[in-house]
Amino acid sequence: MTSTRQALQEVNLHIEESMGVRTVDSRPRFSPVPDAKDVGRLPSRKHGLVEIDRVIPDPQQPRTEFDEHELKRLANSIREKGLLQPIRVRWDAEREKWIVIMGERRYRATKLAGLSQISCCFVDDELTSSELLEQQLIENLLREDLKPLEEAKAYSTLMEMNGWNGKQVAGALHVSPSKVSRALSLLDLPTEVRSKIEQGSLTPTSAYELTKLNNEEIQKELSTTNNLTQKQVVQIVRQRRRHSRSSLRGTSLKFPTSSGMSISVQGSKKFTYHEIREALEEVLEEVELRIQNNVRNL
């Protein structure tokens, strides 16, 4: 009798469904024990709400410092209006956690706001460490969130991961080659000078001027001189370089390339490698301009 009743109920469900009536019982049932990766996902599987305790920051994130005042301001906004843009996350099976790809600032502010869940956009594609760093760098560069040395270290890491040069990094991130080379030059400065940059007492522009000096002691001395404007730093660096070159005459260098061509650098006076790099960057910009204007090859 019981089996007959169950059969009739089953038939009734199919009849109602054929008439357009959907009941809870007639819908496909989900697994009673969902995979940890699927908890919180909406049917589209691309977005969903996740318990914030199941999300962790990426330990390889190029940005290492976050302004507390800005985080509090954003937390207040999220508390009042909600998170307007989901963060992007990837699944880490070993940790059984979601790792932030983009939006760590929003993630930190959401935690600070005391919310228990966070809106996420799920990235299921397998990404290499290099691809992850590229995405994080692009986001931070667009928002201008990275500090000068964080940016420089991220460029350097990308170069090491991929065997790239500065121009290839610039192409991947859609920034100018000179921006990359100027940033990387900061890593050549003494530790004491880099500390001044991190503390904010030495501007990146002034620090870049110091990279043109080949004497670390002079670099340290100028970095600790108070109240120097950028213009004054430029003038002092020029004077120092002029003085250091006063007894040297002439530059003649040749740089062979893998294509079979060689680049020659000649001058009536001695130039530093920083000066040569600047000159080559100017030449590169001129060549690119000619290509854009369809100037015929020689």
Is 139 an annotated catalytic residue? Answer: no
Burial (CB count <10 Å: 0-12, 13-18, 19+), residue 210: buried
Give the angle 68-71-72 at the CA atoms, nearest 5°.
90
16, 96, 104, 286: the active-site residue: 104
- 101 three-class SS: strand
- 194 three-class SS: helix
User: DSSP string spanning 126-162?
Assistant: ---HHHHHHHHHHHHHHHT-S-HHHHHHHHHHHHHHH
Q: Which stretches does DSSP call E strand in 41-168?
A: 47-51, 55-56, 87-92, 97-102, 117-123
Token pair of 54 as six digits: 């199941």
As annotated, the active-site residues are 104
